[in-house]
Each structure stands twice: as structure tokens, then as C-alpha cells.
Amino acid sequence: MKTKVIITILFLLAGAGPAGAGIVELDLFDLGCPTEFNRDNPEWQTDFDLGVTFISIDHVYIDWSGVITAGLAVHNDNPGEPYPLNVAIGSSLGSNPYIRSADFWGGGGTYPSPEPFEMLSEFELIGPSVWSDILDGKGSINMVYLELFIISGNYVEGGQISLDKAVLIFDGTIIPEPLTIILLGMGTIVIIARKHRK
């Protein structure tokens, strides 16, 4: 009888902490992300540690909101007539093997007033790119102010992005922490012990 109970406990412990789907969020402001991006403050980068380990990552998003003000551009053949042109906030999570990025362009349609935005943007995997380098929950993120490439002209005045939210969201299959497995296992032992007392 005791041997049967011990074998049952071992089987239950082995399966006590199955990996499961999970969402992990990381507020970039907590890591020091600035709220303003423009020509004077065009880029920010930092490392992060989510504190979890993934078996797989299915999707990565950035949930961001704020306002975006267009820049002013001119054509070379008409330099005296500047016109509003979209600018962007971009974000990337390194490359594996190609860069994985998300961005939002705007401001041109509401200039000179800023354009509000609130968006959940998915990081694109280009070609053979994968998330294997972030399965340990560690990586780096880059945020950058962007302007369009103009073949026959240039920006004469930069735009402005003001963020009030910037949250990374990882959607994948998470390996449970060892402590969780131990606690589940201990709970299983208690339940089995109580059943055998009865």
C-alpha cells in the first residue's frame, strides 16, 4: 500500500507543474523609457529580464498610446512651401536573424495639431526570424524616432512623439517556476495523505 502511494505521489509531482499558455507584460516606463521622442531625443535602449522562461513565444506586442505631431518637409523644386509629413515611433527587439520591429506613423493629417493614437502593434517576424533568443525571458528593446526618406526633398522641421503608455506583451507557453511545482506537489501529498487516513 505504501509503495503504491509513493509511486502515485511521484507521478503527480512529475506532472504537478505543466507548462501553460501565459501573457507576460512589461511596462517600459518602469525601465526608464522616456515619454518624449524627437530629433533631440531620438533613441532609447535597455535590457530587460521578464523573470520567466518560455517553451515558445507565439506573439509579441507593444501596447502604446500618446500623441504624434508631424514634421515639416519641402521638395527640392519648391523649397519655399513646406508641408506636413508623417513621423513615427518605432520599436525593435533585436534581430534573429532579421530585425523584429513595430512602428506607428502619423501626424500629417492633423498638423499643426498633434494626432492622438492608441494601438496594439505586433512585432513582425521577417522571413526566417524567430523568438528563440528571448525564450529565457531576457532581451533588449530599442525605441526610436523615425522620419521618412524623401528622394527629392527633406524635413525642415522635426516632429514630436509624446507617449503616455508603452507596455511590451509576450504571449507564449511558460515553464512554471520550481517553487510553484514544489507547492503543487506538497498540496498533492496532503490530499493523498488525507484520503488514505479516511
Same domain for 120 and 188, yes or no, is no
Q: Which helix (H) or strand (E) holds 10?
A: helix 2-14
| One domain, residues 184 and 99 | no
Do residue 171 and residue 127 come from a single domain? yes
Give, to the nearest 10 degrees, the angle between helix 2-14 and helix 178-197. 150
Do both 132 and 143 map to the same domain? yes
Instruction: For residues 14 and 79, state if they share a domain.
Output: no
Question: 11 and 29 in one domain?
Answer: no
Task: Indicate whether 117 and 170 sit together in one domain.
Answer: yes
Residues 86, 134, single domain; the answer is yes
User: What is the pLDDT at residue 193?
Assistant: 54
Instruction: Identify the CATH number of the domain in which residue 105 sits.
Output: 2.60.120
pLDDT at 176: 83
CA atoms of 125 and 97, how far apart (whole Å): 10
CB–CB of 73/152 below 8 Å? no
Q: What is the pLDDT along the chain (198 residues), one digit of tens a residue?
A: 333 333 333 333 444 445 578 999 999 999 999 999 999 999 999 999 999 999 999 999 999 999 999 999 999 999 999 999 999 999 999 999 999 999 999 999 999 999 999 999 999 999 999 999 999 999 999 999 999 999 999 999 999 999 999 999 999 999 986 544 444 454 555 555 566 665
87 shares a domain with 69: yes
Q: Which residues contact 193 (CB under 8 A, 6 or more apart)?
A: none
Assess whether 56 and 153 both reside in one domain: yes
- Say what the pLDDT of residue 190 is: 52
The number of domains in the chain is 2
State the chain's mean pLDDT as an integer. Answer: 86
Query: pTM value?
Result: 0.79
Q: Which domain holds residue 69?
A: 19-175
Alpha helices in 98-177, H assignment, sequence order: none
Same domain, yes or no, for 137 and 193? Answer: no
